[in-house]
């Protein structure tokens, strides 16, 4: 396995771990919404036992933020792949030019007949 492959795999592992962790817990907006719902219920003299409107709104905001982060990561990955492809193409072109230079030197060093 090359260094690039190992780096890619480690990044994928971290990203997967983050996605699992995010999916398993409440996001910051959802928590803030829950707190706001509880505060509003307490101010109204009620007991908040289920999801309130601010908590649901916060949960939606957390989903949007996760989707935005996922889209940003996908765009960054695409740019990295494009850079890798350009590097590969440049390496192949450099090899071709090196080969041409070697042939030119070999032709020049052979005695004329």
CB atoms within 10 A of CB 58: 24
pLDDT number for residue 112: 66
Residue 113 has pLDDT above 80, yes or no: no
In a domain, 84, yes or no: yes
pLDDT at 58: 97
**pLDDT for res 2:** 56
Indicate the number of domains in the chain. 1
Q: How many CB atoms lie within 10 A of CB 102?
A: 10
User: Quick check: 108 pLDDT over 70?
Assistant: yes
The pLDDT assigned to 49 comes to 80
For 31-41, how does the pLDDT look when each residue is reduced to its tens digit (9 = 90+)?
A: 999 999 999 99
Indicate the pTM of the whole model. 0.58
Q: Identify whether the C-beta of residue 22 lies closer than 8 Å to the C-beta of residue 66.
A: yes
- Domain membership flag for residue 2: no
Residue with tokens 């829950």: 34
Model pLDDT for residues 18-28, shown as the tens digit of each residue: 555 545 589 99
DSSP type of residue 2: -
Residue range(s) defining the domain that contains residue 63: 12-108
**Could you read off the pLDDT of 41-96 as tens digits, one per residue?**
999 999 878 899 999 999 999 999 999 999 999 999 999 999 999 999 999 999 99
- Tell me whether residue 17 is in a domain: yes
> If 0-12 CB within 10 Å is exposed, 13-18 middle and 19+ buried, where does residue 62 land?
buried
């Amino acid at each position: 396995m090359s260094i690039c492959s190992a780096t890619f795999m480690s990044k994928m592992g971290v990203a997967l771990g983050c996605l699992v962790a995010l999916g398993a817990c409440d996001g910051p907006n959802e928590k803030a919404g829950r707190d706001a719902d509880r505060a509003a219920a307490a101010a109204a003299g009620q007991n908040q036992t289920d999801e309130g409107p601010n908590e649901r709104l916060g949960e939606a905001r957390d989903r949007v933020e996760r989707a935005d982060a996922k889209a940003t990561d996908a765009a960054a990955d695409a740019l990295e792949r494009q850079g890798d492809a350009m590097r590969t193409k440049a390496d192949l072109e450099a090899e071709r030019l090196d080969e041409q230079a070697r042939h030119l030197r070999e032709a020049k060093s052979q005695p004329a007949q």
